[in-house]
């Protein structure tokens, strides 16, 4: 009975309770609307105080008020680091939020309007007006470190949450007028003035004026965008001509670059099985790049596309192998991955689809592969590269390069006629990019010596120092590449290469010594063609090599070298003399620094000779009787004697260390 009585009583009181709650809500709403501008000003004042304390900068808002039910309008906004130039200035800014989301504490922007403003970034000498915002507080840094150590983080979840929040905060309606980003770096200035930008009903339209010291352009970025669906399809191009030129980098880095258009497409992302997947598409048309370290010509890429899939897990991020890149109609699948648990490991891989050889040659940019142009080939191939590096186990590095050929043949040579190695030809040496000296490579030249007229010691010593596996490798030594990469990563700089005699021969005969990416790429490709198509016998390659390489100032070939140093023919060179000549190949013009004032080899050079002798003994290249009465000393009797610099005996040639490392690696390959 008591339960029924209370139940009926509650039913009778319910309408009164609802009315009371509604009245209270109405009162709160009225109070809010009456005092909301007051509280808005208080909130801005509080933020300004924190802004000054945290960033040592002044945040100023001339006027702030609510507009409508969920809108806010601000005018006269500025951010000025104390004692520095204004960083940000906005004349008018308004925004509104989604009311129903706000009721549950989820603030989402509905629309955004901005008119007349700028951001300016100024750098000169030690002065930068944005430094205050780049220096994190010590307390924040320590907290982040402690959090990172004390807890396991799932980076996929963190990034998914951040991306979701970011897209949730992008309004579906945006209007911006006359907003500029001005950059002044020393004497280099560039201004990006956004004349207009609108995003209405998923249609994105923008117009930018770009002005630098050297150029003035009109850009546009148009397309579709739906922040709520995490999708976009945008095209970036130039209005006033066919080519978008990239400002600032040309003046700052001497890099001239541009393109016709870029398309960027985001197909969305999903979080599943503790992994975040992001899919999309990007393309660029008529990209050109010009820099002295890349090529002397404009590098032109007519068409490049990528259909990408990024994967992010708890402890890794990767560009998935299903990603497809189309480069001038050549397709391949890259794979890049970084993981940090339990070890830090880097992965890199490339896998091509079945590719016609002629399509591949036609796709090579002229600026990078000028000596390949005009070459014709038949057949096809598949290529695969796998690289894996564990920072905690560098000795276990994986570096594997594999090509599967299907009737692959060179039917016509391009500018670099590799077949000329088999006959007499005219050779031109270069110094500092300029032609230095030309001479005939062949028996018509009295300074040319065939292999059978060169001391066997000379051949063995040069192979030992330069390329022990030359006679059986196919242009490259994978193990040498592997150890070179490990060494360079360990030292965090390029301290060691992996150049073979084949690579040195191609560089000297067909290319210049310019230090550009294009020259190195051509070298690699030409070496592969030379070695894997059996164009020239190994013995002939080695013979040409010994007769053209530099052995001193204006000294080329073993014939001139034997006369220059010892007044001998190459066949008469002794074992210590051959050891000496082999060791100066990397730095032939610095030979004089290897001697004392009395013409005797310095200690480091003598130690190097002993090391090489021991190494050749272990490899059974020489016998004990080959070194009888040899104390690793030599006597310079030729014209070189006049050039030996009487220098301080403390000068050390650092090549010794690098050579020993190379020899050690070669020994490890034998065991």
514-558 pLDDT, tens digit per residue, is 778 888 888 888 998 898 888 899 999 999 999 999 999 999 999
Predicted local confidence at residue 571, as pLDDT: 95
SS (H, E, C) 23-45: HHHHHHHHHHHHHHHHHHHHHHH
- Span 577-602, pLDDT tens digits: 999 999 999 888 888 888 877 777 88
For the chain, what are the domain ranges? 1-151, 421-670
Say what the pLDDT of residue 30 is: 52
Q: What is residue 652's predicted lDDT score, i.e. its pLDDT?
A: 41
Is residue 581 within 8 A of residue 560, CB to CB? The reply is no
Pairing mode, if any, of strands 425-431 and 376-390? unpaired
Q: Which of 541, 542, 540, 570 shows the shortest CA–CA distance to 558? A: 570
CA 423 to chain centre: 41
From 424, 464, 461, 465, select the one nearest 442 (Cα to Cα).
424
CB-CB contact of 566 with 527 (8 Å): no
The residue ranges of the chain whose pLDDT is under 50 are 5-6, 10, 31, 100-106, 136-151, 495-496, 647-671
What's the pLDDT at 648?
45
Say what the pLDDT of residue 98 is. 60
CA angle 506, 509, 510 (to 5 degrees): 70
> Per the omega criterion (within 30 degrees of 0), is the bond before 342 cis?
yes
pTM as predicted: 0.75
Phi and psi torsions of 192, nearest 5°: -110, 105
pLDDT for position 193: 94
pLDDT at 137: 44
Predicted confidence at residue 135, as pLDDT, reads: 64
78 three-state secondary structure: strand
pLDDT of residue 276: 92
Q: Which pLDDT belongs to residue 365?
A: 87
- Asked if residue 349 lies in contact with residue 311, where contact means CB atoms within 8 angstroms, the answer is no
Structure tokens at 34: 């009456």
Residue 549 burial class via C-beta count within 10 angstroms: exposed 0-12, middle 13-18, buried 19 and up = buried
The pLDDT of residue 484 is 67
Rounded Cα distance between 364 and 268, Å, is 33
Task: Specify the pLDDT at position 196.
Answer: 94
Helix, strand, coil shares of the chain, percent, nearest 5, are 35, 35, 30
The domain 421-670 is classified under which CATH number: 3.40.50.300, 1.10.3810.10, 1.10.1040.50, 1.20.120.550?
Answer: 1.10.3810.10
pLDDT at 15: 62
Distance CA 346, CA 344 (A): 7
């Amino acid at each position: 009975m008591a339960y029924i009585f209370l139940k009926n009583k509650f039913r009778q009181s319910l309408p009164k309770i609802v009315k009371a709650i509604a009245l209270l809500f109405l009162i709160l709403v009225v109070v809010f609307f009456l005092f909301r501008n007051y509280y808005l000003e208080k909130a801005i004042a509080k933020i300004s105080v924190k802004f000054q304390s945290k960033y040592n900068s002044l945040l100023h808002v001339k006027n702030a008020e609510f507009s409508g039910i969920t809108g806010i309008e601000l005018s006269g906004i500025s951010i000025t680091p104390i004692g520095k130039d204004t960083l940000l200035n906005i004349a008018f800014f308004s925004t509104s939020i989604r009311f129903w989301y706000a009721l549950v504490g989820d603030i989402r922007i509905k629309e955004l309007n901005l008119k007349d403003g700028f951001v300016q970034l100024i750098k000169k000498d030690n002065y930068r007006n944005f430094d205050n915002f780049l220096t994190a507080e010590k307390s924040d840094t320590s907290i982040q470190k402690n959090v990172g150590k004390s807890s396991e983080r799932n980076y996929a979840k963190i990034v998914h949450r951040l991306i979701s929040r970011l897209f949730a905060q992008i309004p579906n309606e945006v209007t911006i007028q006359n907003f500029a980003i001005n950059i002044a770096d020393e004497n280099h200035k560039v201004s990006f003035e956004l004349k207009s930008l609108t995003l209405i009903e998923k249609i994105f339209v923008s117009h930018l004026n770009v002005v630098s010291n050297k150029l003035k352009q009109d850009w546009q970025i148009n397309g579709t965008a739906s922040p709520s669906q995490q999708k976009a399809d945008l095209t970036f191009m130039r209005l006033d001509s066919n080519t978008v030129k990239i400002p600032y980098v040309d003046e700052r880095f001497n890099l001239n670059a541009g393109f016709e258009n870029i398309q960027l497409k985001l197909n969305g992302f999903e979080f599943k099985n503790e992994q975040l997947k992001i899919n999309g598409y990007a393309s660029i048309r008529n990209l050109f790049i010009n820099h002295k370290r890349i090529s002397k010509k404009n590098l032109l890429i007519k068409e490049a596309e990528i259909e990408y899939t990024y994967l992010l897990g708890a402890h890794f991020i990767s560009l998935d192998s299903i990603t497809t890149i189309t480069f001038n109609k050549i397709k391949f699948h890259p794979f890049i991955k970084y993981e940090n648990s339990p070890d830090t490991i880097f992965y890199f891989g490339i896998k091509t689809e079945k590719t016609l050889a002629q399509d591949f040659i036609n796709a090579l940019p002229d600026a990078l592969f000028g000596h390949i142009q005009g070459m014709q080939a038949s057949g096809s191939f598949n290529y695969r590269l796998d690289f894996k590096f564990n920072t905690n186990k560098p000795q276990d590095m994986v570096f594997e390069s594999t090509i599967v050929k299907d009737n692959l043949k060179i039917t016509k040579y391009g500018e670099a006629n590799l077949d000329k190695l088999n006959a007499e030809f005219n050779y031109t040496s270069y110094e500092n990019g300029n032609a230095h000296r030309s001479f005939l490579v062949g028996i018509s030249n009295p300074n040319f010596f065939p292999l059978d007229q060169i001391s066997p010691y000379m051949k063995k010593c040069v192979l030992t120092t330069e390329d022990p596996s030359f006679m059986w490798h196919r242009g490259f030594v994978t193990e040498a590449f592997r150890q070179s990469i490990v060494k360079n990563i360990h030292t965090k700089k390029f301290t060691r290469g992996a150049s073979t005699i084949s690579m040195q021969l191609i560089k000297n005969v067909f290319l210049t010594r310019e230090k550009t990416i294009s020259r190195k790429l051509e070298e690699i490709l030409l070496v592969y063609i030379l070695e894997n198509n059996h164009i020239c016998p190994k013995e002939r390659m080695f013979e040409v090599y010994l007769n053209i390489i530099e052995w001193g100032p204006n000294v080329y070939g073993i014939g001139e070298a034997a006369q220059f140093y010892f007044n001998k023919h190459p066949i008469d060179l002794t074992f210590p003399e051959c050891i000496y000549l082999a060791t100066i190949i990397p730095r032939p013009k610095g030979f004089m620094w290897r001697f004392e004032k009395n013409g005797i080899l310095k200690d480091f050079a003598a130690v190097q000779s002993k090391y090489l002798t021991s190494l050749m003994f272990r490899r059974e290249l020489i016998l004990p009787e080959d070194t009888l009465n040899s104390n690793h000393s030599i006597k310079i009797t030729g014209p070189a004697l006049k050039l030996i610099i009487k220098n301080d005996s403390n000068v050390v040639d650092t090549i010794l260390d690098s050579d020993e490392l190379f020899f050690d690696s070669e020994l490890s390959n034998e065991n």
